[in-house]
Amino acid sequence: MFSYLTISKIKQGLTNKDFSCTELVKYYLDRINSLKELNAFITITEKEALEQAKNVDAKIADGESLIDLEGVPISIKDLILTKGIRTTAASKILANYVSPYDATVVARLKERGAIILGKNNCDEFAMGSSNENSAFGAVLNPWDKTRVPGGSSGGSAAAVAADECVFSIGTDTGGSIRQPAALCGVVGLKPTYGRVSRYGLMAMTSSLDQAGPLTRSVEDAALVFKAIAGQDNYDATTSLKPVLDSLGSLNKSIKGLKIGLPKEYFKEGMSPEVEKAIKEASKKFKDLGAEIAEVSLPHTAYALAVYYIIMPAEVSSNLARFDGIRYGHGTETAKALLEFYARTRAEGFSAESKRRIMIGTYALSAGYQDAYYHQAKKVQAIIANEYQEIFNQVDVLLTPTTPSPAFKIGEKFNDPLTMYLSDIYTVSANIAGLCGISVPAGFTENYLPIGLQLLGKAFDETTILQAAYQYQEATEWHNKHPF
Amino acid sequence: MLNIQEIEKLARLCRLELSAEEKDRYAEDLSAILSYVEKLQEVDVSHLENTTATTENVLRQDMVVGVSLEDQKELIKQAPDSKDNLVKTKPVFD
């Protein structure tokens, strides 16, 4: 009765009294408990969730109608602040940190009645593409437990794929929503920078970070997007542009929609199975009436290099706040202040965090800033401009989300550069300020999910959601589940 | 290729204590990453200025918003070490 429910099915079930909210929440808590091995959760808020469910049930018993997300059990990436609940960023340095306030995305979901089941495991401070970089252990891919779920929102993607929650909120700085969504066979939406408030997201790369939903269907992604998007006084980078009604457009035909296939995305390094799935998806879009055209984005090849300068530069600055004095871990053994900072950070940060802090500091240091940071910012402008121009020719871009399906745990962990290449198809959206979505687009022979990515111009989530929905409705991939 | 002295200088700037083994490892890792990003030098950017902001400034009144004593206590409680509702730190000199 409860398996793999969508938001609308839950609303229907609660309103028709097919099940109570308490039964529903208990189903998910049992599920989380029986799938502990996946390690998708760092904290479970059982008591609070059951209490909230009881209130929803009382409301239903009184004949009151439910607001849009009321009674929907969800989870939140542990990088996002949740008042009164521990928020660790999957780091030792914040292992016991309790958020003093709610992130705006969390506040908005709570206002709409969503029930938080717990906090999802992720890569430390959202830094990783495999969820192996967590102080709370790796997350396993529900489709194959010897493989990674992707990252950094790996716990979110695994939890959604394994039906441990209805949806999860993740964050995406270079692909951290879309890449794990692809590897776990779920939907992941990265809204345009400025569309969703970053207030209460632990900052990794302030100029690129964006929160968004991981769901099991495109219509759920559109619903959650509508709930969390829009201007916020607490985040001066949120846009004043009105949030358009993407839900109303989902059902519209994509006849005549111009889809571009950027040829630079189909070069070396892509697994043949992924390539085949994307080619088939492109045929499907054609059958649905879209016009497919090959386009060229010559500077795409530089996007990842741009990312690996700008991101660590901002990381080195953003993680400077973790000094062991105001919050988090503070070392016990230092006598003087300088020693205290250096040892606290040595004890609290993972190897990957240290690597990125050092790269960023190097790129910003005297004598190197022009060659690295300013050069990267200029190439970013060139890339952004190139994408802007492409969107005069086409409405959306179709690409694979990742070059290969989920890789083995441990396979790339000790080779940072190879790991970074997992984000090669997703970073451009962040670098160029676009929106993007990953949707299930097939399976490999070994039954590992493959994702396709649709990129849209800034603030045009409506079109990518519509195209994704039309594709979803013409395929069966989103109805396949790991167990 | 970064040498150990450069790594030590960086670690100082980053406020990170590193073991000898870590220094070797990061010298290698950082060098590999820096040689990957080296390809950005190929791109001709001579027509661009240093400022490449893609977002607009949003301004507001500079107002003081008070914090309740309760919230203040809650925030100070997060500090690893505190005394009399004040955050406590180590001495600057040993």
Contacts of A352 in chain B (CB under 8 A): none
Residue A316, pLDDT > 60, answer yes
pLDDT digit string, tens, across residues B15-74:
999 999 999 999 999 999 999 999 999 999 999 876 656 667 778 888 898 889 998 998
- On average, the pLDDT of chain A sits at 96
State the CATH class of domain A7-260+393-479: alpha beta
Model pLDDT, residue A396: 98
Q: Domain segments of chain A: what residues?
A: 7-260+393-479
Model pLDDT, residue B52: 57
**Residue (of A285, A273, A210) closest to A400 by Cα position:** A273
Q: Is A365 touching B (CB cutoff 8 A)?
A: yes
Q: What is the CA radius of gyration of chain A?
A: 21
A152 as an active site residue: the answer is yes
Cβ neighbourhood burial of B57 (10 Å; 0-12, 13-18, 19+): exposed
Q: Is B28 touching A (CB cutoff 8 A)?
A: no
A176 as an active site residue: the answer is yes
**Three-state secondary structure of A356-416:** HHHHHHHHHCCCCCHHHHHHHHHHHHHHHHHHHHHCCCCCEEEEECCCCCCCECCCCCCCH
Model pLDDT, residue A380: 95
A197 as an active site residue: the answer is no
Contacts of A361 in chain B (CB under 8 A): 10, 13-14
Cα–Cα separations (whole angstroms), residue B63 to A198, A232, A235, B59, B66: 21, 17, 16, 12, 10
Q: Is B41 touching A (CB cutoff 8 A)?
A: yes
CATH match of B4-42 with 1.10.20? yes
Q: Do B90 and A334 touch (CB under 8 A)?
A: yes
pLDDT digit string, tens, across residues A67-111:
999 999 999 999 999 999 999 999 999 999 999 999 999 999 999
Q: In what order do the strands lie in the sheet with A41-44?
A: A41-44, A115-120, A73-77, A167-171, A211-215, A187-190, A435-443, A449-456, A396-400, A258-262, A291-295
So what's the ipTM on this one?
0.94
Contacts of B87 in chain A (CB under 8 A): 325-326
- Helices marked H in A146-205 — which ranges? 154-161, 178-184
Q: Which tokens in the block code for residue B29?
A: 């890792």
Q: Which of A26, A77, A412, A457 is catalytic?
A: A77
Are the beta carbons of A113 and A56 closer than 8 angstroms? yes
B20-37 helix and A351-364 helix, angle to the nearest 10 degrees: 60
Q: Give residue A363's pLDDT band: very low, low, confident or very high (50, 70, 90).
A: very high
Model pLDDT, residue B55: 66
Q: Do A361 and B30 touch (CB under 8 A)?
A: no
Longest dimension (CA), chain A: 70
Residues A238-247, mean pLDDT to the nearest whole number: 93
Q: Is B4 touching A (CB cutoff 8 A)?
A: no
Q: Is B68 touching A (CB cutoff 8 A)?
A: no
Q: Do A309 and B40 touch (CB under 8 A)?
A: yes
- On average, the pLDDT of chain B sits at 90
Query: Which amino acid is residue A472, in one-letter code?
Result: Q
pTM tops 0.95, yes or no: yes
Contacts of A374 in chain B (CB under 8 A): 50
Q: Is A377 touching B (CB cutoff 8 A)?
A: yes
Q: Do A236 and B93 touch (CB under 8 A)?
A: no
How far apart, in whole angstroms, are the C-alpha atoms of residue B63 and residue B59? 12
Residues A181-206, mean pLDDT to the nearest whole number: 98
